[in-house]
Amino acid sequence: MSQSEKGVVQQSGAAGGAGFDIHGVVGIEVAAGTPGESQLRDMLAPFLGKSAAARWLSISGTISPVTGQSYAEDAYRFTENSLYLPADRVQIIETAEGYRIQGSGELLTAVIPLLDRLCVLEETAMVHAAVVDFRGSGVLLPAWGGVGKTSTVAKLVATPGVGFMADDWAFLGANGMLKGYAKPMFIKPHHRVIYPQLFQGARKPLAPGWLTTPVAHLATAVHPVIVRYPKTAAFTRRWSPEHRMVHPEQVFGPERISSAAPARLAVFLERYDGAKARLEPRSADWMTSRIVGNFHSELPMVSRRLVEALGASGLVPLAEHFGEKAAVVRRALDDVPCSLLRLPASWSADQASDFVANMVRSKLDG
């Protein structure tokens, strides 16, 4: 195991309960003995600490009995303030401050959509994007998975004065402030040319590049089952031949991690079957729609199922879930230039990330 991977493991520590403060917006409390505590410590490590937030997620491994439930066939059971999904072994109970999440599996798939919901109620939205602090200007690069977000941040952070904020998930306030999420990065074989230092010395084996896609498809297929069993999921996450977990501070150094910056540029990245890169201006309304839809579509299937169940049961009607989030994102994008950058699908991650980094530099250095 590499030093970077050891760092992620050590942050998990022994199960004893933990608290997290998500940018002062939402607090999270994990009860001692919660089966999914190890994963939550890994993935929420940048926010470890006490919180004075008004909104809270409370997480535990014990499912409380609830009476008077209605049945949606075998899919879920619910009341006016609770929802139970038998297939995922997770229960959600609405509280005055937020939600209680209860279950025996890895609970991150329930935490993320509910964290997003509470953030929206506090004028902040989660986004699926690469984000950097470019000398005081926040750069928002929402994208589909596999476009090259992790590769792009490496190229941008190599620029003097640029700080890492996120390579996958981040937060966007209605006031236009981007807030980082320096969770562990998932390094894959095609990142070797971009992060060569991470492939030096003894490391866990990774699948060769030609096997990466089949392995990723297999991991996606088994994920809804694996997350029910925290110990199996933890082993799979740590030793999957598809990727290697590395903490951003150990890649870039703690001095290159930035927690917040005002949004100054938003570019949606996607691959297409053309031969040349195409940068096209887009409206803030267009970008809002893409950001909200992209975040939802990139959630794990278990998370999407939870959002749909919350909507169908009336706990969080879908019109509110998406409409209120869209309103937050739209206000955040006032006066922020928005564009779509279409990159040839035939380009390597190295080639695509070079183009994106040079485009950002030209926009903000010019």
- Read off the pLDDT of residues 193-251 as tens digits, 9 standing for 90 and up: 677 766 665 444 544 443 444 434 333 333 344 344 455 555 455 544 445 778 899 88
Please state the pTM of the whole predicted model. 0.85
Q: Residue 61 has what pLDDT?
A: 95
Mean pLDDT of all residues in 277-289:
98
Three-state secondary-structure class, residue 99: strand
pLDDT at 266 over 80: yes
pLDDT at 192 over 90: no
* Max Cα–Cα distance, the chain, nearest Å: 63
pLDDT at 8 over 60: no
Q: Residue 232 has what pLDDT?
A: 52
Check if the beta carbon of residue 364 is closer than 8 Å to that of residue 156. Answer: no
Average model confidence (pLDDT) for the chain?
Answer: 86
Q: 143-157, 280-294, 323-337: which range is least confident on average? A: 143-157
**Other beta carbons less than 10 A from residue 198's beta carbon:** 19
Q: Are strands 55-60 and 18-22 parallel, antiparallel or unpaired?
A: unpaired
Tell me the pLDDT band of 185, cut-offs 50, 70 and 90: confident
Mean pLDDT of all residues in 22-46:
94
Q: Residue 359 has what pLDDT?
A: 97
Q: What's the CA gap between 67 and 72, in Å, rounded?
A: 15
Check if the beta carbon of residue 46 is closer than 8 Å to that of residue 183. Answer: yes
Higher pLDDT, 150 or 274: 274
Q: Residue 265 has what pLDDT?
A: 98
Higher pLDDT, 203 or 156: 156
67: amino acid identity, one letter: T
Q: Residue 146 has what pLDDT?
A: 86
Q: Residue 13 has what pLDDT?
A: 38
Encode 160-203 in three state secondary structure: CCEEEEECCEEEEECCCEEECCCCCEEECHHHCCCCHHHHCCCC
pLDDT at 10 over 70: no
Q: Residue 321 has what pLDDT?
A: 96
pLDDT at 253 over 50: yes
Tell me the pLDDT band of 32, cut-offs 50, 70 and 90: very high
Q: What's the CA gap between 180 and 162, in Å, rounded?
A: 13
pLDDT at 306 over 60: yes
The kind and range of the H/E element at 23 are: none
| pLDDT tens, position by position, 43-99 | 999 999 999 999 999 999 999 999 999 999 999 999 999 999 999 999 999 999 999
Q: Residue 234 has what pLDDT?
A: 54
SS3 content of the chain, % helix, strand, coil (to 5): 40, 30, 30
